[in-house]
């Protein structure tokens, strides 16, 4: 049996939300699905290794609080995706996902 799914109101742009030293490692934007708020995230990956594309010129401690490697591992565990799932944004490769958000996201500007 199939069930209809409401259209996703995708953000028109994703904002850099990574650390100041490498803001493009993590992108985000506000989204809606059935009038509920969601956040869209995209993490930059190395397409060959399928790991987070941390910049070697940036100290590892800068990324520590983000735990992007753990998030990518969890996403890969649950969805078993490969490099064909990556999107290209501004010349870099990203894996994108969407998560439910609190009502405060509604106050974020949708860009």
pTM for this entry: 0.86
Strand residue runs (E) in 24-81: 26-33, 36-46, 51-52
| Residue 107 pLDDT | 56
Q: How far apart are CA 25 and CA 19, in angstroms?
A: 8
Instruction: Calculate the CA 43 to chain-centre distance.
Output: 5
Q: Is the predicted pLDDT of residue 109 greater than 60, yes or no? A: no
Q: Is the predicted pLDDT of residue 75 greater than 70, yes or no? A: yes
31-74 pLDDT per residue, tens: 999 889 999 999 999 999 999 999 999 998 999 999 999 999 99
| Token pair listed for 90 | 């501004």
Strand residue runs (E) in 6-102: 8-9, 15-16, 26-33, 36-46, 51-52, 87-89, 92-100
Domain boundaries, the chain: 8-102
19-33 pLDDT per residue, tens: 999 999 999 999 999
| Residue 106 pLDDT | 52
Band of the pLDDT at 111, cuts 50, 70, 90?
Answer: very low
């Amino acid at each position: 049996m199939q069930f209809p799914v409401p259209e996703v109101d995708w953000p028109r742009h994703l904002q850099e939300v990574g650390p100041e030293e490498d803001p493009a490692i993590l992108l985000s934007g506000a989204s809606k699905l059935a009038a509920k708020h969601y956040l869209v995230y995209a993490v930059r990956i190395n397409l060959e290794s399928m790991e987070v594309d941390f910049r070697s010129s940036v100290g590892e401690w800068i990324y520590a609080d983000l735990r992007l490697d753990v998030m990518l591992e969890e996403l890969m565990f649950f969805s078993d995706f490969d490099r064909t799932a990556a999107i290209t944004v501004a010349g870099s490769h990203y894996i994108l996902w969407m998560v439910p958000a609190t009502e405060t996201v509604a106050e974020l500007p949708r860009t």
